[in-house]
Structure formats: structure tokens, C-alpha cells
Structure 1
Amino acid sequence: MRILNIIQCTELGGMEQASLRLMQCLQDRGHEIKVISLNPLGALKEHLDKSGIEAVGMEYRGALGWRSLPTLYRILRGERADALMMTGSNLLAMLTLGGIARGRRLLAMHFHHSVRPDWQWKLFYGLAKRRFDAISYPSDFVRLEAETIVPSVKSITRTIRNPLAVPEKASAEDKAAARRRYGLPPQAKIIGNAGWLIDRKRFDVFLRTAAVVAVKRPDVRFAIAGSGPENEKLQALAQELGIADRIHWLGWIADMRDFYLSLDVLLFNSDWDAFGNTPVEAMTYGIPVVASVMHGGLGEVITDRRYGYLIAEHDPERLGSAIVETIDQPDAGNAENGRFRAVTLSDPARIAIEVEKILQGQIAELSVPEPTRILSS
């Protein structure tokens, strides 16, 4: 099939990276992909080029992009497509689809619904039901949000996890080299997190938990990968908490492999997350996860202590105690259990087959094989 993927933008956020992995999986199954970005091509373009995925960007002009509609309409009229995906929500872009790939359309939603009032979502899903044959979500949490706001959408909704590559288990030498790359002390215990430094990602909770751990474990250091508008405020908080000299600010990292290999524990905190790619990716590397998420789908992966530590309140004392316990008992088993759990739920081959069936118009005939098991090594 020739598949068009209309996406809001092509930066390196979680939505864009999840979409890239899905497109690569579909490519591996013999399909041709083209990306149409509603904004000028961003940092994802380099990865699209490496994968041989054609991409075209456009200017996003006017409120909600309404002045860009003629350009998008013209682009789509010149395309031949057997199937169509739209990644992310764009009400006006749906109006331009016309008859292209009718009966083989998937809307892939990646965000929680608290960002807009319910009346806007009702308008959006009212149109989406008439334009798409299926709507996917990376977690039951965010799918159920949509079904609560617009119950009638349930007939075409489906939970389809974000596909994740399965990294090879790293050696001690690999881990040491990863730490050298970022200037992290080789013998210290490293607690880290990565993401946009924005309010809802609660890096302030990370720092307050770090302060708790620092009192109990002088051998621990902390690493934060990412950037964003909260950067200066967070660095000031680290100074206030007296832990500034124990925090390594690594900035934005395009390839996260060495970052994950550097960690002993990933500490993740968030008010709202559709799924939470960072902790699940860490789990695929065999990194234990300690997390607090007030609203999100991570609990569908970390269902109990076999797979990690997850609470629904931002409690630095409880989180700090869990981190110290995890460091002191590195062979407790939840790292390997977590790795198997994350890889099973995010198996690329299984997810690609499920999406392929939707794009072939065979939604009622979905028959998905068991997820690929990883062998112990």
C-alpha cells in the first residue's frame, strides 16, 4: 500500500517519534509511506530521510491553520494513496480529505483530552466519526476519556500501543562508555528522567525527590535530559534545595540509548500523560522505574510492584524511599520483569499488523498474533 500520514508537525516529541516507529514498522512490511506535515519540516526530517520516507511540509497560517487549507487541499488532490493516517488532532485538516483513501483511514490520537474543553472535543469527534474508519489511542486511559466525552465514538475506537524497538542488553562496558559521553561519574548511582521541561511534567517533583534521596544516599547523582520553559525555574529550585552540585543538566538528546544505559533508576513524574513513553522506553532497557502519575496510562504497564513502582500522588518521601529500596535491592527482579512487560505490550510486529489491517479496511477481521517474546541472555 501507499500510505499518506498527515501529521501536525515533525519535531522530536513523543507523538512524532511514536509515529516514526510505526511508519518504519509498516515500511518493513513492504508499504510505501509519505508524510505531509501541517507545519514546516522540523528535526524529525533527518530521521525520515534516513528511513527513506518522503516528507513535505507547509506553512501553518491563520487561527487553527485555516489559511493553510487551500494548500493542503491542493497537495492532497495531487496524491495517490491506498490508505491514510492522520497523526494528532486537526479539525480543519479533516475538511480537506475529500474522497482520498475512503474506507481505509485511521486517526491516531496521542494526547490526553484535558487540554481542550469538552465542547471542542464533541465538535472534533463529531466530524472524525464521519471522516475516519478507526481512531486509535496509545492507552485505555485516553481512549476512555474520548468515549466518556462522546460515547458514540466507541464504535470505531481502539487502543493501539506505541511501538518500541527492542534494544539489546548492554554490557558493563557499554554502560561505562555511555556515562563517559555525558560526563557522569562512573561509580555513582544515577537517577534520571527525560522530557520537555514544562509544568505538567513535574520536574519539580523530581528535584524534591532527589533532595530526599540525597540525604539518605551521598553516592547518588541525578541526570535530567531535556529542555523547555521551566529550565531556569528548575535550576533555581535545585539551588534552593541544596542539590545543584549533584544535578547533571544534559539538555536535549536526540538518541536516548546512551542516556538510558547511564541510569540505575528512572524517576518519572507527571500530572497528565496519555501513556508516558519515557518510562516505558526505560523499561525496555531493563531500567527500574519509580513514578508518580496523577492522570495517565502508565498504570496499564506498571500494574503492580513486579514491574516497577507507581503511585498516583506526587509524594517525594514515598518516591525517595522507593528509589533507595530499588538501589539497595538491584536484583529484586522488577527490572527484568518490567523489560518483558514493556516489550510485550509495545511489540512492533504485532502493532504494525493491527494498523495494517485497519488501513486495508479489514477492521472486523483483525487477528493479531501473540507478542514476540524476548529470550534471556
Structure 2
Amino acid sequence: MIIHQLNLQTDVLMLLSLHCPVVISLNFSHFITESLVPYYLDFLVYSSSFMVCFTMNRVDKHVINVIQCLNLGGMEQATLLKYEHLVKLGCTGAILSLNPDGGIKNRFTRLGIPVLDGKYSYLRVLRDLIKLRRDCPQSSEIIVSQVGHNIFVNLLLRLFFGSGVKLELHYHHVENDIFSYKWYFVYLFAFLSGNNFYFVSQFIRDEVCSRIPFIRDRSFIIGNPLRLRSLIYQPRQNFDEFVVGNAGWFIPRKRHDLLFDLALQLSERKNVKFLLAGDGPLLDAFKLQVIEMGLSDKFEFLGWTNDMECFYKRLHLLAFYSDYDALGRTPLEAATYGIPSICSVRNGGLKTQFGDNHGIYFDDSHNVKLHSQLIQFYLDNPDEYYSDSKRSYVRAQHIGDVSAYVNSSTFDR
């Protein structure tokens, strides 16, 4: 079997689980001449059973994730990318969702990862955990992560799997300047159960450790993986219609209302349009307000969509508004397509991960007038737009590595 252009960090490890000779042709064509290729290939003929002696063996692992829900949010997307990578490495696993599937279950099952989901109840969760424990392979190391907080589930995981369960947090803790008392119980119980704590951003780690300092030595930053685009970056050339996008839940803290102000500030720019994807309790009211304000020709609504690639490929810029966010995955996803963003978040962790001067303009004051001026600057200076577009793409490639996320959230510590 001859396999060309593999990713050394991921796919080579996957091949180690195959019980057949393989020929691995890495993408070294920039310094290997055509005449040397036959000798190069002969040199790279190995048996997987021989190679495994020289490579860290991570294939005999069974990874269980207990997750709050299976919607299409950032937490679920990160978990899906993790399991895609684990399957490549030859790992097995299972998912227990505390709530019914929200549209992503079939993506796990297509990977061969069984998923247990349903309406939340103590009895159902207990029954499903018993099944998960019973179905664990006897010869594999069991790794268990709880994605999201739940004291009852944490107790059951301690009983069924012992100490060492990984508690993974993807949600902010402080809202309206209030750190709920429930978090003290959540973290104290998890600490006494022997959990380590894995935060998606430095921001939410600081939220907790500044108030519950005794968990600091057992807390780690895992970041957020991205589905990276391997195609050569292609900037958008046509400004005849400049599309500003936004995607997510229509809920109060997401501040979609600021898009009205932005549209009004740009009313003289007839080529600026707004494309919105997502659903939520405030969507109908938002649509009605668009009509009342006479902005129907400016806004297009996609609703909830599973095909985010089609959404992103129509954009020139992402406008992300929020009062509270642990990270903010949408601007990161946009960056993988080379789409710059205006990221206005009063309390959030994206800036600490993405950094300044990489094609995302950060603001914590919701200064819509300033945001409109930036868009007009891009329209009048396409070269500056292309430069920021390129920077965002390059930065996403740098920080979105899935293998690093799997190592930090699953294999390490």
C-alpha cells in the first residue's frame, strides 16, 4: 500500500495500527529530486509492527466523554474534532450526552463512536454510565473527560472510573459581575474527587482561580482546535457586495442588536450587506425589528445551518458581538477561511489566545461607530483588507492544531 503526502503528526501514528507493510511518502518533494524517489520510497518501507517500537503507542486507549449536550456550539465542535483525531490514532471511545441530540450525533456515529443521549434524568444517566463502564475494552487504558459541569455526574464518574477524571470547561463563570455560589460547590467537589481542570481559555481559568485559588496547580489551558484549511489561501477580490456576517444563538448576551447600529452607520454604503446564521429565542423579534427599521434590503437570514462552509465563503468580514464569552469560536473559524473579524466582547478570552495584529480587531466597549469606520477603511483600502485577511489565515493555522489540543486535553497529565 502506497500512501502519499501524509501529515507526520497524525496520520503516521494512524498507520501504526495497521497490520500490514506500508510505504509512506512524506511531502518532501521540495528537496528530493525525481531520480531519487524510487530509492527514497525503498528506504521508507516499514512494517507497522516494527515501527511501533520506536513510536509512542497511543492506540490502546478508550476515551469516554460525558458532555452537556450535542448542539453545534464551540464545545461540541471541539469534541468532534478531538474524536476525529483520536480515531486516526486508532483509539476507541464513546460519548454520553446529558441531553438529547441537537444535530451533531450522526457525525460521531459515522466515526464509529457510539453515542448515548436522551432527556436528562438521574436514572437515565446512571443507566447509561453503567452501560459505558460495562462496554469498556478490557485491554485498553480508559480515559474519561467530563465536558461541562454537573456534580451528580461527577460523583458517578468517581464511583465508576475512580479518580483522575478530567473536567473540561468551555463556559464563562461570571455574568453581570456575579460569580454564582454554585461554582464553589462544583469545583470543591471536583477537587476532592481528584479531578484536574482543563479550561478553553486563560480568561475563564483566571475567573475561577482568582476566587478558588487551591485548584490552580491542577488547572491547565487546552485552547480550542480548528478545522484547518489546507488549500492555498485565496483572498476575496470582489467588493461589489461586501458581506458582513454573524453566526450564533440569538440570546441577550450575544448582542445582535448592535448589528442594527452598525447597519445604520453604513447605510450610505449600498454594497454592504449582512448575512446572519443561527437560531434562538430572540430571532423572530430581531427579524421584525429589521423590517420596522427599514433594513430588509441589508439583512439576509440563513437560520440554523449545518453547512457553515457555504456561510463563511460568502463573507468578507465577521462582526462578533457579545457581553460574555469563554472564548468565541466563530471568529476563529472565520480566520481559517482568511476572513478578518471585528470582535467586540466586554468579557471574554479570545484576545489572549489569538493575540493582537493578526487580522482580528478587538474591542471591549461595543464602539459601533469605530467598527463602521474600520469597515469603510477596508472598502477604501483593499490592500489593507487583504493584508489583514492573510494575517488571520496564517494565525489560525498556527493556533488551531488539533493534535496539540488532543495531547493537552486527553493524553497529557
Per the normalisation by structure 2, the TM-score is: 0.78
Alignment of 1:1-377 (within 5 A): 1-61=61-121, 66-80=122-136, 82-102=142-162, 104-114=164-174, 117-169=179-231, 187-215=240-268, 217-332=269-384, 333-358=387-412, 363=413
Measured at CA, do residues 286 and 57 of structure 1 come closer, stay the same or move farther in structure 2, by a change above 3 Å?
same
Check 1:275–1:33 CA distance in 2 against 1; reply closer, same or farther (3 A cut).
same
SS at match of 2:267: helix
- The whole-number CA distance in structure 1 between the counterparts of 2:290 and 2:94 is 44
Q: Structure 1 pair 14/195, CA: closer, same or farther in 2 (3 Å)? A: same
Cα distance in 2 for residues equivalent to 1:20 and 1:148? 31
Q: Tell me which amino acid in the other structure corresponds to 2:380.
A: D
Give secondary structure in 1 for the equivalent of 2:307. coil
Give secondary structure in 1 for the equivalent of 2:346.
Answer: strand
Look up the match of 1:373.
Answer: none
- Which residue type is aligned with residue 74 of structure 1? I
Separation (CA, whole Å) in 1 of partners of 2:327 and 2:88: 25
How far apart are 1:298 and its partner, in Å? Answer: 1.6
1:367 counterpart residue number: none
Deviations 1:192-235, CA, capped at 9 Å, x for gaps: 110011111111112211221222x1111110011111112212
Q: Which runs of 5+ in 2 are unaligned?
A: 1-60
Higher mean Cα deviation, 11-20 or 284-293?
11-20
> Partner of 1:257: helix, strand, or coil?
helix
CA apart distance, 1:275: 0.4
Structure 1 stretch 218-227 or stretch 329-338: which is displaced more?
329-338
CA distance 1:327–1:202, change in 2 (3 Å): same
Q: State the one-letter code of the partner of 2:89.
A: R
Q: What one-letter code is carried by the residue in structure 2 that aligns with 1:75?
A: K
Q: How many residues align?
A: 345
Q: Hey, what's the Cα distance between the residues in 2 that align with 1:9 and 1:275? A: 18
* Counterpart in the other structure of 1:368: none
Query: Do the aligned residues in 2 keep the contact of 1:283 with 1:339 (CA within 8 Å)?
Result: yes
Contact conserved, 2:338 with 2:392, CA < 8 A, in 1? yes
Cα gap change, 1:356 to 1:8, in 2 (>3 Å): closer
TM-score after normalising by structure 1 = 0.85
- How much does 1:38 deviate? 1.4
Say which SS state the counterpart of residue 283 (structure 1) adopts.
Answer: helix
The whole-number CA distance in structure 2 between the counterparts of 1:104 and 1:26 is 19
Shift of 1:33: 1.6
| Paired residue secondary structure (2:156) | coil
- Identify, as 1 or 2, the structure richer in helix: 1
Look up the equivalent residue of 1:149 and give its one-letter code. Answer: R
Q: Answer with 79-88 or 266-275: which moved more.
A: 79-88
Paired with 1:77 and 1:28, the residues of 2 have a C-alpha distance of 23
Q: Distance in 1 between matches of 2:211 and 2:123?
A: 29
Are the equivalent residues in 1 in contact too, given 2:143–2:410 (CA < 8 A)? no
Conservation of the 8 A alpha-carbon contact between 1:274 and 1:297: yes
Q: Secondary structure at the match of 2:204?
A: helix
User: What is the alpha-carbon distance in structure 2 between the residues aligned to residue 146 and residue 107 of structure 1?
Assistant: 13
Runs of 5+ unmatched residues, structure 1: 177-184, 364-377
From the superposition, tell whether residues 249 and 100 of structure 1 become closer, same or farther in structure 2 (CA, over 3 Å). Answer: same
1:100 CA displacement: 4.1
Equivalent residue, structure 2, for 1:370 = none
Structure 2 Cα separation of the partners of residues 89 and 325 of structure 1 = 44
| Alpha-carbon distance, 1:307 to partner | 2.7
Of 22-31 and 274-283, the range deviating more from structure 2: 22-31
| Counterpart secondary structure, 1:122 | helix
Residues 157-208 of structure 1, C-alpha deviation per residue, up to 9 Å, x if partnerless?
Answer: 1111111111144787x989xxxxxxxx994111111001111111111221
Asked if the contact 1:190–1:221 (Cα under 8 Å) also holds between the matched residues in 2, the reply is: yes
Matched residues in 1 for 2:126 and 2:184: separation?
25
Moved more, 254-263 or 339-348: 339-348
CA deviation profile, 1:239-274 (whole Å, cap 9, x unmatched): 343322110011111121111111011111111110
CA 306–4 in structure 1, closer or farther in 2 if over 3 Å, else same: closer
Higher mean displacement: 220-229 or 300-309:
300-309
Greater C-alpha radius of gyration: 2
DSSP 3-state at the match of 2:227: coil
Secondary structure of 1:40 counterpart:
coil
Please report how far the alpha carbon of residue 155 of structure 1 lies from its aligned counterpart in structure 2 after TM superposition: 1.3
Give the CA RMSD over aligned residues: 2.4
Q: C-alpha distance in 2, partners of 1:209/1:75? A: 52
Equivalence for 2:11: none
Percent identity over paired residues = 30
